[in-house]
Structure 1
Amino acid sequence: MVNDKEKNMKVELLPDERIDMLYNDDVHIIQSKSVFSFSLDAVLLANFAEPRKNGRGLTVDLGAGNGAVSLFMAHKVSGQIVGVEIQERLADMAQRSVMMNDLTDKIRIMNADMRDIFNDIRPGSADMVVSNPPYFSIDNEHTVMHENKHYAIARHELMADLDLVTYTAKKLLKNKAHFFMVHRPDRLFEILESLQKNHLSPKQIQFVYPKVGEPANIVLIDAIKDGKLTGAKILPPIVTHNLDDTYTDAVWSIYEGRQQHG
């Protein structure tokens, strides 16, 4: 068994980087406040995504960032995971985290634009696609973007918009395979339109609420390629915080890897 000290000695950290731990410290991930840190959204998506047939097939993580979703899902699948990330620095962080967790035989990180991945990943070969894409569309008159380019690209549709993500997922997936995405409820109708345009039929939707009595601020969607438009389920809600701003028991159980959705 590799201990924490041995894990962390395998990779070098840049001056602005730190190592965070999740799932009862079983997953170590390189983070940087000056470049990128994963949020609760990534943890919720990894918990929500449910592989078929024990995940023996290929899983693709679109917009992988620092590899959080890929790393958090590694224990759920027996097959390969490919994380696609356009930003070189984030792809490098993800690759080093994969090495630190001894998962190089399971997870491969591609530093690439998702438009250019199909010479490497055969269309129609993925059993599952997951994505935590940029949430904010670009409005040249009103959009205020983060001055840090890494955060701006991660949060705004500068390099990949909703239609590109759903199209890429559709092209990657086998027939009847699943696409899991986390996004913002205020774009729900755009999301549903984009999914339908790309022959991805929503099968499960789950809303996430910051506190009881407040509007949802996260939506999780499970869509199937070339599925019927009927039969969608709205799953029970997740509430992330208690009134005193601490995490709820449900969220702690997800962070510790004990809870599955549904």
Structure 2
Amino acid sequence: MQVELRSDERIDQLYSHDIQIIQSPRVFSFSLDAVLLADFARPVLKRSGQVVDLCAGNGAVGLFLSAKTRAAITAVELQPRLADMARRSILLNDLEDRMKVLTLDLNDAFTRIPKDSVDTVTCNPPYFPVTPASKKNPNRYLAVARHELTVTLEQVIRITSGLLKTTGHAYLVHRPDRLGELITLMGKYRLAPKRVRLVYPKAGRDANIVLVEGIKDGRPGGMKFEAPVIIYGEDGQYTPAMKEMLYGDGHQ
């Protein structure tokens, strides 16, 4: 379907899933975090299932997940401009029959999505806590996406757990330096961490991204650290694993 673009917008493509997405450098463009999270997540597969993506931005994670599941997908995004971009991307990919966007503060999620009703929740939340010393992006769209101006990590975990059915799965991407806090909060809100994957910009460098799966009311213990992902090779090009995530088999 043809959709109207604003002057600052473009259409990009995630070739591995044949998904087109509306982006804007002035407002929001998805990062590798969204690709990594969608690759890591194992969403419910059945058509009657419910998937919710919180802090959805321009809808990237939900759009990418649409290739992995037949379930209904609901994206929750606070900022109307980004929610509008997500809705037009849904039309662009002919996904309006099973994907929708709620322009909603995450803290009000239960007013539109019943508690204990969701099979899979994904979230790429703001990474940086707000402190008096915080240097926030002057672009409000980017500041809200990156800093905990409208939602904290604890609120994200509390809402995620509240939405999930018992044994429902949560998938989050964050910074490794907050992994301890993330695991503690998951325990507080009945999410048992089960899989952890670290992402490294290059071999020999410190990890800069962590992906975590939790199960609501899951049995304690059994946490697995998966093989890491390395984004760039020594030549500065994407590694084969990243090329496959971005372009699929046979694309370079």
Q: Is 1:139 aligned with 2:131?
A: yes
Q: Is 1:90 aligned with 2:73?
A: no
Task: State the distance in 2 between where 1:152 and 1:251 align.
Answer: 27
Task: State the distance in 2 between where 1:40 and 1:80 align.
Answer: 24
Q: Which residue of 2 aligns with 1:253?
A: 244
Show structure 1 runs of 4+ deviating over 3 A. 52-56
What is the deviation of 1:53?
Answer: 4.5
Task: State the distance in 2 between where 1:52 and 1:234 align.
Answer: 22
Superposed CA offset, 1:24-69 (max 9, x none)? 4711000000000000000000010002454641000000000000
Task: State the distance in 2 between where 1:60 and 1:68 align.
Answer: 13
Task: State the distance in 2 between where 1:101 and 1:172 align.
Answer: 27
Q: Which residue of 2 aligns with 1:112?
A: 104
Q: 1:25 to 1:169 in 2, by over 3 A?
A: closer
Task: State the distance in 1 between where 2:41 and 2:71 align.
Answer: 15
Task: State the distance in 2 between where 1:82 and 1:36 align.
Answer: 19
Q: Which residue of 2 aligns with 1:44?
A: 36
- Give the aligned length: 249
Q: 1:230 to 1:218 in 2, by over 3 A?
A: same
Q: Is the 8 A contact 1:179 1:223 kept in 2?
A: yes
Unaligned 5+ segments in structure 1 are 1-6
Q: 1:211 to 1:54 in 2, by over 3 A?
A: farther
Identity of aligned residues (%): 47
Q: Which residue of 2 aligns with 1:183?
A: 174
> Which residue type is aligned with residue 111 of structure 1?
T
* 188, 191, 195: which one aligns with 1:197: 188
Q: Is 1:130 aligned with 2:122?
A: yes
Q: Is 1:75 aligned with 2:63?
A: no
What is the deviation of 1:257?
Answer: 4.3
Task: State the distance in 2 between where 1:168 and 1:149 align.
Answer: 24
Task: State the distance in 2 between where 1:226 and 1:92 align.
Answer: 35
SS at match of 1:14: coil
TM-score if structure 1 supplies the norm length?
0.92
TM-score if structure 2 supplies the norm length?
0.96
> Which residue type is aligned with residue 228 of structure 2?
P
Superposed CA offset, 1:154-181 (max 9, x none)? 0000011100110000000000110000
Q: Which residue of 1 aligns with 2:152?
A: 161
SS at match of 1:255: helix
SS at match of 2:166: strand
Task: State the distance in 2 between where 1:149 and 1:51 align.
Answer: 31
Task: State the distance in 2 between where 1:57 and 1:171 align.
Answer: 17
Task: State the distance in 2 between where 1:24 and 1:253 align.
Answer: 7
SS at match of 1:193: helix
Root mean square deviation of aligned Cα: 1.2
Unaligned 5+ segments in structure 2 are none
> Which residue type is aligned with residue 106 of structure 2?
M
Task: State the distance in 2 between where 1:234 and 1:177 align.
Answer: 20
SS at match of 2:220: coil
Q: Is 1:29 aligned with 2:21?
A: yes
Superposed CA offset, 1:173-215 (max 9, x none)? 0001100000000111111111111111100000000000000
Q: Which residue of 2 aligns with 1:3?
A: none
Task: State the distance in 2 between where 1:109 and 1:21 align.
Answer: 20
